Amino acid sequence: MQQLIYFIRKFKYFLLFILLESIAFIFIIQHHSFHKSKFINSSNYITGGIYNTVSSINDFFYLKSENHRLIEENIRLRNLLNKSELNLNKDTFILNDSSKYGQKYKYSFAKIINNNFTKRNNTLTLNKGTNQGITADLGVINSNGIIGVTKSTSKNYSTVLSILNKNSKINVRLKNSNHYGTLIWNGKDYNILQLIDIPRQAKIKVGDTIITGGKSAIFPEGIKIGTIKNFKFESNQYKNIDIELFNDMSSIGYVQIVKNLERIEQQNLETSILNE
Amino acid sequence: MNNLILNNSVRFLALVLLQVLVLNHLNLFGYLNPIVYIVWVVLFPIRKNKSIFLILSFLLGLSIDFFSDSGGINAAATLFIAFIRLPVLKIVLKKTDFDYLLFNLRAISFGKAFLFITILTFIHHFIIFSLTYFSLDSFSTIISNTILTSIITIIISILGIILFTKKK
């Protein structure tokens, strides 16, 4: 017993070091599993508050570009509206099918108060949380494409797993065919993402547009993401497909949050199939 | 003594805020973000009892982690350089024992202080980038990031130390 106490006394700093270092490693490991990082994240009261204050100052410098993006989106939506009027006028009979009025996606907006894009694993912080109806696993988009998926939330803030992250895997498809793939990031250039798992039957060429696939229950189908920049076709397989984003991930201000109202229904159905 | 506590607390807060609000968004040459908060570890007075120092270094790293959503990476790296600070200093100064109370970084020669800061910065940055990338494939990226970021960190740290500390 005496020797044990002597041992602890002699190596007390080293033991303290080992203890704290293991705590740090537990945090790191927890952070990598998707839902467990409840403790160390920037969505808590203090960090969220500080980021919120600073971003309200920074906002003034981005008013111009933000306005520009809003005008562009307005024009796009106005064009869509005109198109749908045209389509409606062609039909002589209008059928009011009540089942088609069920709303599938609900949109709300939030502001990015902390953005990083140069690290290997990037996360963003939003100025809305559970009080405003934000939960984990909601899609985050803006008018130029997708940004990420919400991860952890507090009362008034939430963090977003950016598409510029090792753990981000987004289901996408080619716009002109129904071949699905997965969008990942290799950590090099924040404007270039990588497309994998494209079947070799797919015919792709440089400049093809990539949109979100409807497979995942997070993003609605058909959101534009980017275009194919270059690719290789080796030993009957596509390799190194680089996607250039429409979005500038270094400058994003206001974003839209997509809530899939039929998500639980879809997931229950899919798990029931898996269980059979 | 009170002055010492106040000094170090103010430095702690100022460095955390400087790091997360300014330096993390600097993106020099597109992607370099200097990690200057470790100056706190370099400047903390050397005492025989270092448990307080180890715990505070851990908390310093952890507060950076809170802001930058990086798990415990900064905490692990900062704690490590805090633990090896005294051995490194002994090697740099080629002394086995010296007066702890009177030690001042500005009192030793510039070359030795520079070497001391460089060693700690390199080790810290290497741990940070290894844990962030965490794969052998990106070994070259880890090394290049470590070297380039360290150079900028060292320049800013030394300028900061010269500007904000008194020479005795």
Work out the average pLDDT over A119-136.
88
Termini Cα distance of chain B: 17
Amino acid at B90: K
Which residue has 């024009």 as its token pair? A75
Q: Are residues A117 and A202 in the same domain?
A: no
Please name every residue paired with A228 in a beta bridge, in sequence order, or none if there are none.
Answer: A243
Q: Check whether B155 has a pLDDT greater than 90.
A: yes
Distance in Å, alpha carbon of A56 to nearest chain B alpha carbon: 13
Q: Are residues A183 and A154 in the same domain?
A: no
Work out the average pLDDT over B40-68.
88
From A12, A121, A250, residue closest to B132, measured CB to CB = A121
Q: pLDDT digit string (tens) for B55-109? A: 999 999 999 988 888 888 999 999 999 999 888 888 888 876 666 666 777 778 8
Instruction: Give the pLDDT band of residue A175 (cuts 50, 70, 90).
Output: confident
pLDDT at position B105: 78
Give CA separation, A93 vs A83, A87, A101, B110, in Å.
18, 12, 17, 87
Q: Are residues A139 and A256 in the same domain?
A: yes
Q: Are residues A64 and A138 in the same domain?
A: yes
Work out the average pLDDT over A220-245.
86
Report the alpha-carbon distance of residue A141 to residue A177 in Å, rounded. 23
Q: Under a CB-based contact definition with an 8 Å cutoff, are residues B79 and B61 in contact?
A: yes
Sequence spans of domains, chain B: 2-164
Q: Are residues A256 and A142 in the same domain?
A: yes
pLDDT at position B81: 92
The C-alpha angle with vertex A51 and arms to A49 and A54, in degrees rounded to 5, equals 110
Q: pLDDT digit string (tens) for A76-113? A: 887 777 766 656 555 555 555 555 556 678 888 888 88
Count of domains observed in chain A: 2
Instruction: Map residue B104 onto helix, strand or coil.
Output: coil
Q: Are residues A256 and A140 in the same domain?
A: yes
pLDDT at position B120: 92
Which two three-digit tokens encode residue B146?
A: 């470590």
Q: pLDDT digit string (tens) for A241-271? A: 899 998 888 888 888 898 888 888 888 888 8
Q: Are residues A122 and A159 in the same domain?
A: yes
Distance in Å, alpha carbon of B130 to nearest chain A alpha carbon: 11
pLDDT at position B59: 92
The helix (run of H) or strand (run of E) holding residue A123 is strand A123-126
Phi/psi of residue B47, each to 5°?
A: -130, 160
Instruction: Map residue A259 onto helix, strand or coil.
Output: strand
Q: Check whether B43 has a pLDDT greater than 60.
A: yes
Instruction: Give the pLDDT band of residue B13 (cuts 50, 70, 90).
Output: very high
Substitution target from B59, B69, B79 for chain A, most A beta carbons within 10 A = B69
Q: Under a CB-based contact definition with an 8 Å cutoff, are residues A159 and A126 in contact?
A: yes
Q: Are residues A126 and A237 in the same domain?
A: no
Q: Are residues A255 and A132 in the same domain?
A: yes
CATH number at residue A210: 2.40.10.350
Q: Identify the domain containing residue A205 by its residue range.
A: 170-245
Which two three-digit tokens encode residue A144?
A: 């130029």
Q: Under a CB-based contact definition with an 8 Å cutoff, are residues B107 and B168 in contact?
A: yes
pLDDT at position B149: 92
Tell me whether residue A236 is in a domain. Answer: yes
Tell me whether residue A87 is in a domain. Answer: no
Mean pLDDT of chain A: 83
pLDDT at position A75: 81
B62:A24 CB<8 A: yes
CATH number at residue A111: 2.40.10.340
pLDDT at position A5: 86
Q: Check whether A223 has a pLDDT greater than 80.
A: yes
Work out the average pLDDT over A212-229.
86
The helix (run of H) or strand (run of E) holding residue A234 is strand A224-234
Amino acid at B94: K
Report the alpha-carbon distance of residue A221 to residue A180 in Å, rounded. 12
* B58 interface with A at CB cutoff 8 Å: yes
Distance in Å, alpha carbon of B50 to nearest chain A alpha carbon: 7
